[in-house]
Every structure is written in structure tokens, then in C-alpha cells.
Amino acid sequence: MDLDRADLKLLEMLQRDGRATVQSLSEAIHLSARATLNRVRRLEERGVIEGYRALVRRNALGEHVSVFAEIALKDQRQASVQRFERRMATASEVVACWIVSGRYDYLVRISCPTLDDYHRLINGWLDEAALGIEKIVSNIELQTIKEFTGFTVPRVSVPG
């Protein structure tokens, strides 16, 4: 999809504040409120903007342990991969899951109230032969330095 300078500015602003008013957005891109709203709706309809959500302070929900689990599967057959990915997509403890290259197949970010809860979770996964997990290497998050806040929006240079 071709995005012009105004679209890119809207995306940058909405990533910073998804609750920004149409008026403030329109002032920033120098278009009318109606034209700005139409652009935002077009970006939503085309799937460029996937949705909006609240960022909740983690400790507001109580203590938890955050773990980055490196998971290797025993085989790469499509049925095994799909079964594993369905489980990751539906597990409430799984915050994010990525297919990666390297020593393992998936990097899974998991949040549990305690280490005991995490241990029970992964033991259950390992005991479930149908998931086909060969190995899980756990990396406990000690401190978050920077959390994901949005993708870098390319800068459009203004012609000379």
C-alpha cells in the first residue's frame, strides 16, 4: 500500500497515542478534520491499523514472572507445527510467540503469577506428546529496559 507523508504522520501519532483526537491529528497533518478522519478510516479498513489497545502497567495486575522461552520442536511436519502454534495462540499465559531462525524454532514470551506456575505450565506442555516439544530453554526477565511501543515510521523527505 502506498502511504504518503500525511498517512505516515498519522501512523506515527496514533502509535504514540491511539486516543488522539481527530482535531489534533488534523492540525498536525494540515488537513480538515473530515479528511483526516477519512484517512484514518481508510488505514483501518486496509488493515494498516490493526486495532487500538490500552497499555496496562504490569504490576497493576499483581506480581508476575515474565519468561522468554526458547522452544525447539521434535519435527517440522505441518500437522505438528500447526498443533503447537494453535496451543500458543490460545494459551492465556503466552504474551507473544515468534517463529525464529537459529538454535530453536520459537521464541515465546510467557507471563505467570509465579515460577511454580510457569514450571507447571511448561511441564504440562512437555508431557503432552502431541505438542512435539523437544526442548525448552527458559530465560527469566529480570528488568525491562524498553518495551515495544510501535514500529519505526519511515521519514519522507521533502523535495528540495
Stretch 99-111: mean pLDDT: 97
**Per-residue confidence band for 156, with pLDDT thresholds at 50, 70 and 90:** low
Domain covering 61-140 in this structure, CATH number = 3.30.70.920
Contacts of 158 (CB under 8 A, 6+ apart): 5
pLDDT tens-digit series, residues 23-71:
999 999 999 999 999 999 999 999 999 999 988 887 888 889 999 999 9
Residue type, 36: T
Please state the domain extents for the chain: 5-45, 61-140
- Give the percent of the chain with pLDDT over 90: 82
Q: Which CATH architecture has domain 5-45?
A: Orthogonal Bundle (1.10)
Cβ pair 148, 134 in contact under 8 A? no
